């Protein structure tokens, strides 16, 4: 089990959903850091183009080919 934080009320919990408001939780731990990260430049450029968006929680596009 890991420590999570609610996205809405910002309470900490170990549950998969917030016990207070029932909303989704995300991990409260920071991402691992590596000075040899090969993809860091791409993430920095994505954040510059789309501030406030998260690659992990961004909705997936539904491509319909006709």
Asked, for residue 20, whether it belongs to a domain, the answer is: yes
Angle at 54 between CA 48 and CA 15, to 5 degrees: 155
Asked, for residue 52, whether it belongs to a domain, the answer is: no
In the prediction, which pLDDT does 64 show? 72
What phi and psi values does residue 27 have, to the nearest 5 degrees?
-65, 145
pTM score of the predicted model: 0.46
In the prediction, which pLDDT does 43 show? 79
Per-residue pLDDT band for 33 (boundaries 50, 70, 90) equals: confident
d(CA 7, CA 25): 6
Asked, for residue 44, whether it belongs to a domain, the answer is: no
Asked, for residue 48, whether it belongs to a domain, the answer is: no
Q: Can you tell me the mean pLDDT for 26-52?
A: 81
Asked, for residue 3, whether it belongs to a domain, the answer is: yes
Tokens 């910002």 -> residue: 10
Q: Please state the domain count of the chain.
A: 1
Domain extent at residue 9: 1-30
In the prediction, which pLDDT does 16 show? 86
Asked, for residue 66, whether it belongs to a domain, the answer is: no
Asked, for residue 35, whether it belongs to a domain, the answer is: no
Q: Can you tell me the mean pLDDT for 15-25?
A: 88
């Amino acid at each position: 089990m890991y420590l999570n934080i609610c996205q809405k009320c910002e309470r900490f919990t170990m549950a998969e959903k917030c016990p207070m408001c029932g909303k989704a939780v995300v991990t409260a731990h920071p991402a691992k850091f590596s000075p040899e990260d090969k993809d860091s430049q791409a993430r920095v450029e994505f954040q510059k183009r789309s501030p406030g968006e998260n690659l992990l929680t961004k909705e997936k596009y539904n491509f319909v080919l006709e």
